[in-house]
């Protein structure tokens, strides 16, 4: 069983690769009962500002999972900023624990910062299928592992993400670009 949240399809693509039994988080978020039982339960979603989207967090906070193996796959487009550690910390804050957390580099859809055509052009370099195959193998073998995070990753989150700052820097970039 794999739950997914997707804005532009990357996380759905990954979820399809990982499990046939897929459930959309927006479809179940308002269900009165959120109790789920399966041999393995996965969550696949993008990172927004290095963290899971608010709806995914709300779902994780309120759902009960009865499983031997809970895993998270976090898709991102450029810099994950220590997403695995941030997600593990979030789960801990709601009394849950993942057995496996990994990130997956895919097309970046943060349109404020990137040109979509360029992103699609460089996509082959990201070797998505190869990484997904590795993740699927890990999950099938019930690997227990949280992707390690470096101080540089953490610094991206603490120094560069505050959204206002990010939007401001993108504006600055656009302004500089527009006026030479």
Ligand X SMILES: Cc1cc2nc3c(=O)[nH]c(=O)nc-3n(C[C@H](O)[C@H](O)[C@H](O)COP(=O)(O)O)c2cc1C
Which positions touch ligand X (CB under 6 A)?
6-11, 46-50, 75-81, 106-110
CB 1 within 8 A of CB 42: yes
CB 58 within 8 A of CB 52: no
Q: From start to end of 18-154, where are the E strands?
A: 22-24, 35-37, 40-46, 64-66, 69-76, 100-105, 145-146
Q: Residue 88 Cβ, how far from ligand X at the closest point, in Å?
A: 17
Which residue's CB is nearer to ligand X, number 36 or number 110?
110
Q: Whole-angstrom Cα distance, residue 56 to residue 170?
A: 26
Q: Residue 71 Cβ, how far from ligand X at the closest point, in Å?
A: 17
Which residue's CB is nearer to ligand X, number 21 or number 120?
120
Q: Residue 81 Cβ, how far from ligand X at the closest point, in Å?
A: 6
Which residue's CB is nearer to ligand X, number 6 or number 147?
6
**DSSP code per residue over 138-173:** HHHTT--EE----HHHHHIIIII--HHHHHHHHHHH
Cα 129 versus chain centre, distance: 16
CB 99 within 8 A of CB 144: yes
- Phi and psi at residue 170, to the nearest 5°: -65, -40
Q: Residue 165 Cβ, how far from ligand X at the closest point, in Å?
A: 12
Which residue's CB is nearer to ligand X, number 78 or number 144?
78
Which residue's CB is nearer to ligand X, number 9 or number 172?
9
Q: Residue 35 Cβ, how far from ligand X at the closest point, in Å?
A: 25
């Amino acid at each position: 069983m794999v739950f997914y949240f997707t804005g532009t399809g990357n996380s759905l693509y990954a979820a399809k690769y990982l499990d046939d039994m897929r459930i959309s988080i927006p479809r179940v978020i308002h269900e009165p009962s959120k109790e789920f039982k399966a041999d393995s339960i996965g969550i696949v979603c993008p990172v927004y500002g290095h963290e899971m989207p608010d709806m995914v967090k709300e779902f994780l906070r309120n759902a009960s999972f009865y499983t031997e193996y809970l895993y998270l796959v976090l898709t991102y487009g450029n810099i994950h900023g220590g997403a695995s550690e941030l997600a593990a910390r979030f789960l801990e804050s709601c009394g849950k624990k993942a057995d496996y957390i990994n990130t997956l580099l895919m097309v970046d859809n943060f349109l404020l910062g990137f040109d979509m055509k360029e992103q699609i052009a460089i996509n082959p370099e990201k070797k998505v299928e190869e990484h997904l195959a590795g993740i699927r193998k890990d999950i099938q073998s019930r690997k227990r592992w949280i992707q390690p995070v470096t101080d540089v990753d953490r610094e991206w989150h603490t120094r560069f993400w505050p959204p206002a700052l990010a939007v401001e820097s993108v504006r600055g970039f656009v302004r500089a670009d527009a006026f030479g």
